[in-house]
Amino acid sequence: MRFVVTPPATVSVPVVGTEDRFPVHRIYCVGRNYEDHAKEMGFTGREPPFFFLKPADAIVAVEAGSTGVMPYPSLTRNLHHEIELVVAIGTGGKNILAADAHKHIFGYAVGLDMTRRDLQGEMKKQGRPWCIGKGFDHSAPIGPITPAAQAGDVANAEIHVQVNGQDRQHSNVSKLIWNIGETIEHLSAAWELQPGDLIYTGTPEGVAAVLQGDTLTGGVAGLEPLNLKIT
Ligand code: MN
Question: Nearest 5 degrees, angle CA 27-CA 18-CA 152?
Answer: 70
Q: Is the pLDDT of residue 45 over 80?
A: no
Q: Which residues, in sequence order, are bridge partners of residue 167? A: 162
CA distance 220 to 37: 17
- 152 CA → ligand 1 middle, Å: 23
- 6 CA → ligand 1 middle, Å: 32
- 111 CA → ligand 1 middle, Å: 9
Instruction: Please write the tens of the pLDDT for every residue from 122-168.
Output: 999 999 999 999 999 999 999 999 999 999 999 999 999 999 999 99
Provide the Cα torsion 93, 188, 142, 211; round to 10°.
160
CA distance 190 to 203: 22
The pTM score is 0.98
Q: Are 130 and 114 in contact (CB under 8 A)?
A: no
Q: Are 188 and 96 in contact (CB under 8 A)?
A: yes
**pLDDT value of position 44:** 82
> 205: Cβ–Cβ under 8 A, 6 or more apart, which residues?
34, 36, 37, 39, 40, 169, 171
Mean pLDDT across 108-135: 98
- 200 CA → ligand 1 middle, Å: 7
- 5 CA → ligand 1 middle, Å: 33
- 107 CA → ligand 1 middle, Å: 19
Q: Is the pLDDT of residue 46 over 80?
A: no
- 82 CA → ligand 1 middle, Å: 6
CA distance 145 to 57: 17
The mean pLDDT value of the chain amounts to: 97
Separation in Å, CA 86 to CA 39, 140, 160, 207, 216: 22, 10, 13, 17, 17
Structural domains in the chain plus CATH codes: 12-230 (3.90.850.10)
Q: Is the pLDDT of residue 12 over 80?
A: yes
